[in-house]
Amino acid sequence: MTADLALIWPELILTIGGLITLMLGTFVGDRNVGLYQLSSLLTLAAAAAAVVALIGVETTVFSGTLSVDGFGGFAKLLIYAASFICIVIAPRFFRGGMRAEYPTLILFAALGMGIMASSRDLMTLYVGLELNSLAAYVLASFMRTDERSSEAGLKYFVLGALASGMLLYGISLLYGFTGTTDFAGIAKVLGGELNIGLIFGIVFVLAGLGFKISAVPFHMWTPDVYEGAPTPVTTFFATAPKVAAMALMTRVVIDAMGPAVGAWQQIIIFLSLASIILGAVGAIGQKNIKRLLAYSSINNVGYMLIGLAAGTQQGVEGVLTYLLVYVVTTLGSFLVVLQLRDDQGNQIESIPALAGYSQRRPGLAAAMAVFLFSLAGIPPLFGFWPKYLVFEAAVNANLVPLAVAGIVASVIGAFYYIAIIKTMYFDDKSDTEFPKGGGAIVEDAVITASALWLSVIGYLFIPVLAVLSASAAAVLF
Amino acid sequence: MSGFPILSLMLAVPAVAAIVCLFAGDKMARFVALGATLATFVLGCILWANFDVGGAQWQFTERADLFGRFQYALGIDGMALMLIMLSVFLMPLCILASWDAIKSRVGLYMAMFLIMEVVMIGVFMAQDLLLFYIFFEAGLIPMYFIIGIWGGANRKYAAFKFFLYTLLGSVLMLIAMIAMIGEAGTTDIPTLLNYDFPAAMQTWLWLAFFASLAVKMPMWPVHTWLPDAHVQAPTAGSMILAGVLLKLGAYGFLRFMMPMFPDASGQLMWIVFGLSMVAVVYTSLVALVQSDMKKLIAYSSVAHMAIVTAGLFAFNQQGIEGALIIMLSHGVVSAALFFCVGVIYDRLHTREIDRYGGLAKNMPAYSIFFMLFTMASIGLPGTSGFVGEFLSLAGIYEASSWVAFVCTTGIILGAAYMLYLYRRVVFGELTKDDVKAMPDLNAREWTIMVPLAAVALWMGVYPESFLAPMRGDVTTVVARLAPAKPAGDARLAAGKPRAAEAHGETAHGSAHAGGVQ
């Protein structure tokens, strides 16, 4: 037992760090933003360092309920990095309204997500997921006085609870028909004959997880929550929990349901195509940039699911690479959204107000153009590469029709991305002023770095990414 | 020269200049762009001078294992060399053509053109399938900006149509490429050129490539993006679009579809012939009734490209060589024609043919150049157009006399719409006051016209300079296609050729003489 504790340092650090941050907020006060910011950031850095220190360890702890491996490590590093950025950007957004609960909740959410990414038992899965979700519900309604924020929190909570219910129902069915909650044990039973109970279990579990990754048809909450939640929280929702849920889904599908390919593959294919198409079509009419990015995230999840549908190691490598590139792109684009303020300092979210933005803030507009073209997957931007990987995995797994359908639908997706670029570059200047000097140095640095990385420079990192994702994906096979 | 990475340098010069232009002021950006494109042109000349005609198929090869899964592999053969020369030759002229016409966001404009140059010559240099695709697709982004920001009144629509149309085409090619890589296990183009794909797979791959390249070409009926893009693009944008971007499709046919899927090419050539025949007649007729000068030239481009595709699928030396010469010739001539339109557009700000008339009186120098390019477009002997059209029609005749018959009417119709355009713009009474006030060419416009005219004549009088580097590559493609080649209906009887010194090839000398008798 104590030996196991030495292997979950990242989780321990996050728990302790989260509690310290909470105490700091309570006893030192919300005014001392620097102090609790520092403690939360240090916690995340230390947890990331612990993950790095555990590289190469591959084992399970606590009677096989939690695994320590490269796959979880890859996901955790991404989650911690995204959480780090989301804490950094918060004080400037909330201004006077910044409270210590924000970093604390993010830390606990990160803890839950880490557990999701490394669970190998249905119970740990659920505990991790709920820990993350509870923190997320509160974060969504973090601006108590703002109606939209409260609405977002409530919507997220009600629909999230429904999804948790479905997930639990599926878990209970799987447990009932297999007699175990352990992934490996479930896989063993699924390798035999499937009965209707098991199939229902698989369907409900995948539906519950589909809600978390906001795959169509479980996506309805996404645009509303993304729009209503404060922008740093939206940034968080669009990045870290996506990584965790996608990692969890991959683990459940490959580890627990692996042998029952026929049962889960068609569900994943449906989720994937539905997300790609609805994510693309739904985005076209949007006038709010945050809603649009919500649809864009639905669309991107669809592409990740193409890699997962392949069910091969190559496919999982594609999913992991996709997650990494997606997180960088999404962070970058939300950081740009965060800087959209008019001369009164009000947040601008309407897309028509962005008309002529390139003439007012050429640097930011160029970065946004890079992010959008990258999300659309147009080479030479690096967003092309993960799309290529998932399509390659699908073609090599004999899922050519899926690849063709996905890639043709990507043209619909390209339409709304280039429509924003049209607004920023081709249209005449709108009346909205965007005064210069809105961004902190850190934000500008993150935007610049991610935009540069997503331009052609990213291709130089392919060998590194290939090694990382291959070693992480190999764990599952 | 061996070992010196001249190809990488040719990519790097405009790329660095593009970054400089983004941050430079208007005036400086113009000079940086001009300097960089001229420097690249000089590098291109060095490249041509050092190209060993009749030497190894792939020369100046560079290889670096930068990307893990695929390679940074560059190298050129004769066809690529000629198309690179076309690109680097047109670029400085495009920059000069937009010297005064572009007044807003000059830095961004010049940067986009320079990126365009990198992308275009990158396409012709790439020796790795994925690297090729990346360059091939990357051209969409700068062109989207060029049309969308500096275009005409309906520019946003045209930019969207251009972007989505060509993207939709090329994504299918990506899936085909993935399947090829999975099957052959390599991304190396020279290896893939000699890989025999299973026959059933070839058909699907061929169709996927065709979907992409036919849009780029553009072939009837997927040509409709082209007139919109041309009409709305700024003058230099049209020049580069017609001059080089339209050649990407034909280059793809010749580089990928024909040698990589020879069986499918043989079986499905009727699709290409059929579409080409429709295109030649239909688009020529459409060109005849246009009232917008740019649209007219855009439709004439589609017609010319149809002769290119028909020539390529003739599967013989003359047909393919002729198609290549049309590509080069059309690159120069259509760019020149678009510039001719640009010259008078800058003065009167309309492209309506009816608004002009009688220019011969007040713009004699302009009228002479316009006449020369009109003739070159029609294919008058002595101009570049004649050589290409004659060779390719001779090749097509060998493959199918009916296709040759229909394609030849395109030449006649071409003469009709071009001369009709010329008559309405240049001849007639000089009645309109604003047209009367138009000054003749200025020094900058002379600087652009003269090289274009010189090359058009050079290619017409001594095409051997351009054919020689490409001949070996064409022979390779023809040899690769030979097993799949259907018997033509021309029933050629070999004549008794004299010494074949004028044709410079021995293996095909007899067929050559037979085809033109």
pLDDT of A286 over the 80 cut: yes
| Helix, strand, or coil (residue B73) | strand
Span between the terminal Cα atoms of chain B, in Å: 43
Q: What integer pLDDT is reported at residue B513 of this predicted model?
A: 41
Residue pair A407/B175 in contact by the 8 Å Cβ criterion = yes
Q: What are the boundaries of each domain within chain A?
A: 261-477
Q: Which residues of B touch A374 (CB under 8 A)?
A: none
**ipTM > 0.95, yes or no:** no
Residue pair A138/A112 in contact by the 8 Å Cβ criterion = no
Identify the closest residue of chain A to B122 by CA–CA distance.
Answer: A380
pLDDT of A426 over the 60 cut: yes
> What's the gap in Å between the CA of A392 and the closest CA on chain B?
6
Q: Does B181 touch chain A (CB under 8 A)?
A: yes
Span between the terminal Cα atoms of chain A, in Å: 27
Interval B134-182: pLDDT, tens: 999 998 999 999 998 888 888 889 899 999 988 988 888 999 999 999 8
Q: What integer pLDDT is reported at residue B492 of this predicted model?
A: 67
Interval A161-197: pLDDT, tens: 999 999 999 999 999 999 999 998 999 988 888 889 8
B376-385, B419-428, B488-497: range with lowest mean pLDDT? B488-497
Q: Which residues of A touch B14 (CB under 8 A)?
A: none
- Select from B499, B66, B517 the least CA-distant residue to B509: B499
pLDDT of B1 over the 60 cut: no
Model confidence at B63, pLDDT cuts 50, 70, 90, reads confident
Model confidence at A31, pLDDT cuts 50, 70, 90, reads confident
Q: What integer pLDDT is reported at residue B34 of this predicted model?
A: 92
pLDDT of B242 over the 80 cut: yes
Residue range A465-469: mean pLDDT, rounded = 90
Q: Does A396 touch chain B (CB under 8 A)?
A: yes
Q: What integer pLDDT is reported at residue B501 of this predicted model?
A: 56
> What's the gap in Å between the CA of A365 and the closest CA on chain B?
12
Q: What integer pLDDT is reported at residue A15 of this predicted model?
A: 94
Interval B186-207: pLDDT, tens: 888 888 888 888 888 889 999 9
- Select from B448, B375, B409 the least CA-distant residue to B283: B409
Q: Does B126 touch chain A (CB under 8 A)?
A: no
pLDDT of B78 over the 70 cut: yes
Average pLDDT, chain B: 87
B159, B164, B175 ranked by CB distance to A404: nearest: B175
Interval A300-320: pLDDT, tens: 999 999 999 998 999 999 999
Q: What integer pLDDT is reported at residue B510 of this predicted model?
A: 43
> What's the gap in Å between the CA of B494 and the closest CA on chain A?
48
Other C-beta atoms within 10 Å of B97: how many?
28
Handedness of CA B430, B436, B442, B444 (dihedral sign): negative
pLDDT of B363 over the 60 cut: yes
Share of chain B above pLDDT 70, in %: 94
Q: What integer pLDDT is reported at residue A329 of this predicted model?
A: 94
B137, B155, B167 ranked by CB distance to A426: nearest: B155
Residue pair A252/A209 in contact by the 8 Å Cβ criterion = yes
Q: What integer pLDDT is reported at residue A136 of this predicted model?
A: 93
B135, B160, B178 ranked by CB distance to A392: nearest: B178
Q: What are the boundaries of each domain within chain B?
A: 6-488+506-515
Residue range A364-369: mean pLDDT, rounded = 91
Do A407 and B149 count as a contact with CB atoms less than 8 A apart? no
- The amino acid that residue A329 corresponds to is T
The alpha helices in A311-382, defined as continuous H runs, are 313-338, 357-360, 362-376
Average pLDDT, chain A: 90
Cα separation, B202 vs B479, whole angstroms: 18
Q: Which residues sit opposite A121 in a β-bridge?
A: A182
Residue range B277-292: mean pLDDT, rounded = 90
The 3-class secondary structure across B128-197, one letter per residue, is: EHHHHHHHHHHCHHHHHHHHHHHCCCCHHHHHHHHHHHHHHHHHHHHHHHHHHHHHHCCCEHHHHHCCCC
Model confidence at B507, pLDDT cuts 50, 70, 90, reads very low
Q: Which burial class, exposed, middle or buried, applies to A444 when counting CB atoms under 10 A from its CB (0-12, 13-18, 19+)? A: middle
Q: What integer pLDDT is reported at residue A268 of this predicted model?
A: 93
Q: What integer pLDDT is reported at residue B24 of this predicted model?
A: 85
Do A460 and B66 count as a contact with CB atoms less than 8 A apart? yes
Q: Which residues of A touch B134 (CB under 8 A)?
A: 379-380, 384
Q: Which residues of A touch B130 (CB under 8 A)?
A: 388
- The amino acid that residue A259 corresponds to is P
Q: Does B200 touch chain A (CB under 8 A)?
A: no
Q: Which residues of B touch A384 (CB under 8 A)?
A: 134, 137
Residue range B196-219: mean pLDDT, rounded = 89
The larger pLDDT score, comparing residue A441 to residue A201, is at A201
Interval B304-357: pLDDT, tens: 999 999 999 888 888 999 999 999 999 999 999 999 999 888 888 888 888 888
A403, A459, A462 ranked by CB distance to B175: nearest: A403
Do A400 and B175 count as a contact with CB atoms less than 8 A apart? yes
Structure tokens belonging to residue A178? 């297999």
Q: What integer pLDDT is reported at residue A192 of this predicted model?
A: 84
| Helix, strand, or coil (residue A288) | strand
Q: Which residues of A touch B172 (CB under 8 A)?
A: 404, 407-408
Residue pair B143/B162 in contact by the 8 Å Cβ criterion = yes
Q: What integer pLDDT is reported at residue A81 of this predicted model?
A: 94
Q: What integer pLDDT is reported at residue A129 of this predicted model?
A: 93
Q: What is the DSSP string of A169-229?
A: HHHHHHHHHHS--BHHHHHHHHTS---HHHHHHHHHHHHHHHHHTT-TTS-THHHHHHHHS
Model confidence at B490, pLDDT cuts 50, 70, 90, reads low
Cα separation, B350 vs B296, whole angstroms: 14
Share of chain A above pLDDT 70, in %: 99
Integer-rounded Cα radius of gyration of chain A: 21
Backbone angles phi, psi at B128, to 5 degrees: -125, 135
